[in-house]
Amino acid sequence: MTSASLHPAAGPARRTVVAAAGAAGLAAALTACGSGDGSSGGGDTGSGPAGTALAKTADIPEGGGKVFKDQGVVVTQPAAGTYKAFSAKCTHQGCAVSSVANGVIVCPCHGSQFSAEDGSVRKGPATQPLAGAKIAVSGDEITLA
């Protein structure tokens, strides 16, 4: 009697496993459809940096500059109407430079200073110039190029 009752129980258990596998297959098919929609979002990310509006020319003080942390760039105006851009990542140990004043870009970590005109080292401990960054100035708009 005990052994007879086990057999019917085994049958439904097997069917349950098969049904679960079928549901998993359906879920996988739905997931595949979803990833197709996701690819268009990836395209937006790729086209983000170039053409991104950074600032108005009026935001960049003459003889100084401004650090754009989110974009990792520092934009300077070493002479009236001349705009330059550099990577905001200090070449010493990678801190983000924090300010521009009196024609130099300053790193807060160990006090390195870089020329706001060409990124060259004005004061160590950094020994390498800041990498250049590309910007485009159109009218009073400064954008990443």
Site residues, ligand FES (CB under 6 A)? 90, 92-95, 107, 109-112, 125-126
Task: State the minimum distance, in angstroms, from the CB of residue 70 to ligand FES.
Answer: 19
- The nearer residue to ligand FES, 87 or 142, going by C-beta atoms, is 87
- Cβ within 8 Å of residue 37, ≥6 positions away: none
* Cβ at position 97, least distance to ligand FES in Å: 7
> Could you tell me the smallest distance in angstroms from the CB atom of residue 114 to ligand FES?
9
Shortest CB 123 distance to ligand FES, Å:
9
Give the Å distances, CA to CA, from 67 to 26, 29, 32, 64, 74: 50, 47, 42, 10, 4
Minimum CB distance to ligand FES, residue 119 (Å): 13
Comparing CB distances to ligand FES, the nearer of 82 and 128 is 128
Question: Which tokens belong to 128?
Answer: 């390498």
61 alpha carbon, distance to own chain's centre: 26
Cβ pair 104, 65 in contact under 8 A: no
Q: Which is nearer to ligand FES, 121 or 136 (CB)?
A: 121
Closest to 112 (Cα-Cα) out of 94, 92, 96: 92
Closer residue to ligand FES, CB minimum distance, 111 or 132: 111
The count of residues in the chain is 145
Nearer to ligand FES, 74 or 126 (CB): 126
Helices and strands of the chain, counted as H and E runs: 1, 10
